[in-house]
Amino acid sequence: MKSWFRVFRLLPLACVLITVLLTFQSARMGLSGLIVALAQSEVDRWPSARGRVPMSELHRIGNYFSDSLSVAPNNPWALESLGSLDLLSVRASRTPSEAVDFARKAHSQYSSALKERPSSPFLWANLALAKLYLDQIDDIFFSALRHADELGPWEPSTQQVVLFVSLAAWQKLNEDQRQAVRRAVERGGVRNAAKMFEIVKTYRRFDLVCGLSAYHAVGGKACGEAPGAPPKPAQKGKP
């Protein structure tokens, strides 16, 4: 009886300690999130993510996200942001070996972030992109593409990455995977046609959009269609 009495006496203290711990953890995540938000606001002011951002600027912003992780090591938004900077650094790198190192870092950051946010289609799509840069076209690569497509079927940024990565690895996709890409192209045409067409144009895979009315305004000429003419029936994808 005495032992149980001691336990009951300690319960209020345990509750206080748990509350303090939770408050501390929340404060850490809040501060970490604030740092991420401030750094992201600077990234959002960059002219274009497609352009080459100076490596010095990438390092400077990267330090903010690293500071955020020093406060809360598992902050998925900081990990995601660092991964995105690493992918931009792949483009800005001057040597192939340096580019590979940045792709490896991006892969690591996205993998860690996915442990905290496994339902993020953007993380899965960019994990696939990092693996593409590393030439790792394996089961994890295909799984990442599938998760991205299933979790974010109507997310424009996810659609674009999935299309770009899939076309780059088209020869290694099976027919079911290729059909999934075709469905993504159809969905992307609803409100994302211009950007999706630019990716299709890069790979000269006009067969994916010819015949789809959503792409007629941006891709009709490439498909040999006169402006205002009804789109031709969709062609089958190339092998």
CATH label of the domain that carries residue 83: 1.25.40
138 secondary structure, DSSP code: S
For residue 161, is pLDDT > 50?
yes
Lowest mean pLDDT among 14-23, 24-33, 100-109: 14-23
pLDDT band per the 50, 70, 90 thresholds, residue 35: low
Distances (CA, A) of 154 to 28, 187, 205: 33, 7, 21
In a domain? residue 139: yes
- Asked whether residue 151 is domain-assigned, the answer is yes
Helix pair angle (139-151, 156-168), 10° resolution: 150
* Residue range of the domain that includes 70: 30-44+54-118
Nearest CA-CA partner of 189 in 171, 168, 181: 181
One domain, residues 59 and 91: yes
Residues 229 and 180 in one domain: yes
Percent residues over pLDDT 90 in the chain:
50
Number of domains the chain is built from: 2
Q: Read off φ and ψ for residue 233, nearest 5 degrees.
A: -60, 145
pTM as predicted: 0.75
Measure the CA–CA gap between 81 and 66, rounded to whole angstroms.
10
Burial degree of 145 (CB within 10 A; 0-12, 13-18, 19+): buried
Question: If we measure between CA atoms, which residue out of 123, 86, 116, 78 comes closest to residue 104?
Answer: 86
Q: What is residue 105's predicted lDDT score, i.e. its pLDDT?
A: 94
Q: Count of CB atoms within 10 A of residue 156's CB?
A: 15
* pLDDT band of 4, cuts 50, 70, 90: very low
pLDDT of residue 46: 59
